[in-house]
Chain A
Amino acid sequence: MKKKILCSVLAIATALCGLTGCKGDSTNNDDPMSGKIVFTIWDNNLLTYIDENDMVGKFKEKYPNAEVEVEKIKDDTEYWNSMKMRTSANQLPDVMFNKPFTLSRFKDYLLDLSDTEAAKNNTLAKGYAIDGKVLGVPMTAGYEYVYYWKDMFEEANVEVPTTWEELKTVSKTLQDYYSAKDPDFMAIALGAKDEWPDYPYMEFMPALVNGNGQNWNDMAKTDAPFAEGTDINIAYHRVYDLFTSGVLGKDPLGLSKDQATNLFAQKKSAITALGDWGLQDIKGAAENVDDLGTFYLPVRESSSEPFRYVVQGDSFMGVTTHSKKPELAKAFVEWFYSDAWYPGYINYVSSASSMSNFPKEKDPILAESDKAQPDGVAVMYDGGGDDFTALQNETTFDYKKLGSTMLTDGFDLDAALSDLDAKWKAAREKLNIK
């Protein structure tokens, strides 16, 4: 009998617990500034800074009833894969990041942040608005640099190049000079095995040829964007000439980005093109960086053309439509870009500030690029909208893979571009893109 009573009590308790959802915390569901939000990142530097500076605790000081769960995903490739799967399952985190080329893919799942102070104070956010909505606030302003060793340039008696032809000549001179002593030397360290490290050339150069940051979107409006005389055709021919001139060393396809950066840091290479984030990688691998310098990739054909370099918003912080606490998530974005957090973070990383209210002096090594080109023209890069992305997917146009394929035997660039034109035309017709 006792057992029966005990069982009944337990059963009632279980049922009650189930009905009430076993709520153990004291969160007030009616308060929009209480509860938990998930903030998903991929950046190792950001994670280190968050841990070392107790971001979660500091946010809680401002919003005592709020919790932030920081979720780290291995790298950005894995990040997009994960976000795509979560989108289909209605499981996006409350706060997520985007890149310029992913904004249009996730535009239906991001809330408009136009009315936030973070967006208003951001120098780049409005430039990336889609249909007038700011869907993400760039955490940094991203610049691309060519890193080089000054002492190696001096020894080989070459100057910093200011045109594409000069870059080719300088690279060739460096290759000839140093490979006589070291057969493993490469004038330009690329890491083409990973494919993506060729992005400074393959992704940005078409936009820099004529200063058209909307190049990808304009390509979507034409049937033959790869034809002779187009920006992309000109850019890829220049890249092909450089890549096949022997300045990437004996086997660029056999080396990964990490290996290439390490070899550059050990001065087994004189030049490497990376984003501003690359400075931290190089500093981490090099014994000292006293002789490290930078210049912007000189894409122009002659010095009579304007010198153009690319700038883009990077790491667009956005609030997703799947968030159950959108007000709290927006408050987190506001807090992140406020005096309480952003100045410390932006000074910790090598990237430039994207906030007008928190300007940051560039690292002296990176500032050398601006000194070398005081009249340089910044080209605001757009990663491509819906139409371009749809065409890219339909034609399987992978510019990073194309760059590494240029290094294979028997590759015919004109045939490859002509094939892409045919696919592009068919895709526009199929997808009814005007």
Chain B
Amino acid sequence: MSSLAKKRRIFIIVALAIPVLLLVCFVVVPAVDLIRMSFTNWDGRSADYDFIKFDNYVSMFNNKDLWRSLGNNAVYFCVHLLMIPIELAFAVLLNSKLKAAKFYKTMVFLPYIINGVAISYAFSYFFSPVNGAFDGILEAIKLGMLKQNWLSDEKIVNFVLAFVSLWRFSGYHIVLFTAALQSVNHDIIEAATLDGANAWQMFRYIQTPSIMLMVDFILFDNIRGAMQVFDIPFVMTSGGPGYASSTFTLYTIKTAFTYDNFGLASTMAVAIMAIIILIYVVQNKIIHGIILKGDK
């Protein structure tokens, strides 16, 4: 091996060693420990605990409230998923020669940088049944008959919370799409324009395929975010009424800290990891294997 090749190999090993070491220390080891804990009855305090085989997994599968909570996560997932094409359309609009595009970009991104707890508190008052601003707006535009118990009606509470989540995160997606669109090769766009492509054809056949990597990332971020949503229901409804707006993470934290069952909570954390991976794989198969198959 030449001296240069040897030095290159050493550099690569050293450069890789640190991130790999960090990854092992802070991701792999805790993940393995989490799986180990999921087979115990640890209460979160005691030095001792017992291995109880698959009892936690059996208990988790029999827990109706937990699966109801996961159903609530699905509302966030679907609402955000439906919004992704609209967010992409907004990004295309902001990427065009729109007047004051920078101002709009700042405005849509602003909710994302505001503290999530503060947003949740503000919306609690916005949807309050007494002196609530939203009911006030409905009254002002003569739509008072549409007033609801926004945070306590089991049928609508998850949609209200998902709306707040949309308000907060859509701007983030739009800015990511905008950044990706700006990186699309201008030569391809010019060529398409010369070939007579209209705006829809440009969007469908040039821009969207060019930013597919970002689309994939946002789709994955949507799954992760929807499955792990916590602060909005925690502050706005405490998961109530009952478990009507509880989420998987909210229930997991309650299991760990209210019921002192860290073993079962670890099982739930393992389950949510598996669910996220499963949904991602299925979603990827559907999008790349069925919807986009015709483009290839």
B261 adjacent to A393 (CB under 8 Å) = yes
Select B127's contact among A87, A249, A254, A407, beta carbons within 8 Å. A254
Partner of B257, one of A81, A184, A256, A408: A81
Q: How far is the CA of A259 from the CA of B126 in the complex (A)?
A: 12
8 Å CB interface, A387-418 against B: 389, 392-393, 396, 398, 401, 404-405, 407-409
A286 within 8 A of B: no
B273 to chain A, nearest CB (A): 21
Q: Are A105 and B260 in contact (CB under 8 A)?
A: yes
| B242, CB-defined interface residue at 8 Å | yes
Question: B151 near A85 (CB under 8 angstroms)?
Answer: no
Docked-complex contact A193 and B152, CB < 8 angstroms? yes
The answer to whether A408 touches B261, judged by C-beta atoms less than 8 angstroms apart, is no
Q: Once bound together, how far apart are the Cα atoms of A405 and B154, in whole Å?
A: 11
A71 at the binding interface (Cβ < 8 Å): no
Q: Is the CB of B129 within 8 A of A254?
A: yes
Judge whether B241 and A407 touch: CB under 8 Å: yes
Q: With A194-B238, A253-B151, A254-B152 in contact, do A393 and B128 touch (Cβ < 8 Å)? A: no
* Inter-subunit contact B151/A254 (CB<8 Å): yes
Residue among B125, B127, B154, B257 making CB contact with A84, cutoff 8 Å: B257
Task: Tell me the bound Cα distance from A4 to B170 in angstroms.
Answer: 59
B149 interface neighbour in A84, A105, A251, Cβ under 8 Å: A251
B44 within 8 A of A: yes
Indicate with 1 or 0, residue by residue over A12-44, a CB within 8 angstroms of chain B CB atoms: 000000000000000000000000000000000
Whether, in the assembled complex, A263 has its beta carbon less than 8 Å from a beta carbon of chain B, the answer is yes
B130 with A193: CB separation less than 8 A: no
A408→B128 contact, CB < 8 A = no
Q: What are the residues of chain A within 8 A of B257 when measuring CB–CB?
A: 80-81, 84
User: Is A234 close to B, CB under 8 A?
Assistant: no
Kindly list chain B residues whose C-beta atoms are within 8 Å of the C-beta of A184: 129-131
| Chain A residues with a Cβ closer than 8 Å to the other chain, count | 36
In angstroms, how far is the closest chain B Cβ from the Cβ of A328?
25
A105 in contact with B152 (CB, 8 Å): no
Indicate whether A254 sits within 8 Å of B150 (C-beta atoms), given known contacts A85-B44, A398-B258, A407-B241: yes
A408 pairs with B44, CB closer than 8 A? no
Q: Which residues of A contact B269 (CB under 8 A)?
A: none
A268 at the interface (CB under 8 A from B): yes
A393 to B260, CA, bound (A): 7
Q: Assess whether B129 is in contact with A250, with CB atoms less than 8 Å apart.
A: yes
* B interface, over-half SS: loop
In the complex, what residues of A have CB within 8 A of residue B244's CB?
Answer: 408
Q: Are A408 and B241 in contact (CB under 8 A)?
A: yes
**Inside 8 A of A379's CB, which chain B residues have their CB?**
none
**Bound Cα distance A184, B139 (Å):** 15
Q: Is the CB of A84 within 8 A of B45?
A: yes
A84 and B44 within 8 A (CB): yes
| Interface membership of A129, Cβ < 8 A | no
* Contact A253:B241 (CB < 8 A) given known A84-B44, A87-B45, A105-B45: yes
Instruction: Tell me if B111 counts as interface (CB < 8 A to partner A).
Output: no
CA distance A274 to B40 in the complex (A): 39
Number of A-B residue pairs having CB atoms within 8 Å of each other in the complex: 84
Q: Tell me the B32-66 residues at the A interface (CB within 8 Å).
A: 43-46, 65
Our pick among B65, B125, B151, B154 for the contact of A409 (Cβ within 8 Å) is: B154
Q: Is B207 positioned at the interface, with any CB of A under 8 Å from its CB?
A: no
Residue picked from A108, A251, A398, A405, most chain B C-beta under 10 Å = A251
Interchain CB contact under 8 A, B45 and A254? no
Query: Taking A193-B151, A193-B152 as contacts, is the C-beta distance between A405 and B130 under 8 angstroms?
Result: no
Cβ of B45: which chain A residues have Cβ within 8 Å of it? Answer: 84, 87-88, 105-106, 109
* Interface mask (B259-276 → A, CB under 8 Å = 1, otherwise 0): 111000000000000000
What CA separation (Å) do A404 and B151 show in the bound complex? 13
Contact present for A195 and B238 (CB under 8 Å):
yes
CA distance A329 to B57 in the complex (A): 43
Q: A253–B259 contact, CB under 8 A?
A: no
**A167, CB-defined interface residue at 8 Å:** no
**Closest-CB distance, B239 to chain A (whole angstroms):** 9
A251-B129, A254-B129 given as contacts; is B242 within 8 A of A401 (CB)?
A: yes
- Residue-wise interface mask of B (121-135) relative to A, using a CB-CB cutoff of 8 A (1 in contact, 0 not): 000110111110000
Q: Decide if A160 is an interface residue (CB 8 Å cutoff).
A: no
Complex Cα–Cα for A398 and B240 (A): 13
Shortest C-beta distance, B103 to chain A (Å), equals 35
CB distance from A412 to the nearest CB of B (A): 12
Give the complex CA separation of A393 and B257 in angstroms.
10
Q: Kindly state the separation between the CA atoms of A268 and B128 in the bound complex, as whole angstroms.
A: 15
> Which of B125, B127, B151: most chain A CB closer than 10 A?
B151
Chain A residue nearest to B63 (CB atoms) is A396
Contact bitstring A254-265, B, C-beta under 8 A = 1, else 0: 111001000100
Query: How many angstroms from the CA of A114 to the CA of B65 in the assembled complex?
Result: 44
The listed residue (A193, A259, A389) touching B237 by CB distance below 8 A is A193
Q: Are B241 and A404 in contact (CB under 8 A)?
A: yes
Q: Give the residue name and chain of the A residue nearest to B43 (CB).
A: A393
Please name all residues of chain A whose beta carbon is closer than 8 Å to the beta carbon of B154 when the two chains form the complex.
408-409
Among A81, A108, A250, A393, point to the contact of B259 (Cβ < 8 A). A393
Residue of A nearest to B149 (CB): A251
Which chain B residues lie closer than 8 Å to A109 at the CB level?
45
Q: A80-B257, A88-B44, A193-B151 are in contact. Are A255 and B128 (CB under 8 A)?
A: yes
Give, as a whole number of angstroms, the nearest-CB distance from A209 to chain B.
Answer: 25
Cβ contact within 8 Å between B260 and A84: yes
B147 to chain A, nearest CB (A): 10
B259 and A408 contacting across the interface, CB-CB below 8 Å: no
Least CB distance from B267 to A in Å reads 15
Chain A minimum-CB-distance residue to B258: A398
Known: A84-B257, A105-B45, A405-B242. A253 touches B128 (CB 8 A): no
Knowing A84-B45, A251-B149, A254-B128 are in contact, say whether A396-B259 is a contact too (CB < 8 A): yes
Whether B258 and A253, one on each chain, are in contact in the complex, defined by CB atoms closer than 8 angstroms, is no
A256/B130 contact (C-beta < 8 A), A84-B44, A84-B257, A87-B45 known = no
- Return 7 A-B CB contacts under 8 Å, by A number: A109-B45, A184-B129, A253-B240, A254-B152, A259-B124, A389-B260, A401-B240
Given contacts A84-B257, A195-B240, A255-B129, 7 further A-B contacts (CB under 8 A): A80-B257, A87-B44, A108-B46, A109-B45, A250-B149, A401-B240, A404-B242
The 7 closest A-B pairs by CB, nearest first: A253-B152, A251-B129, A254-B129, A87-B45, A393-B259, A405-B242, A408-B241
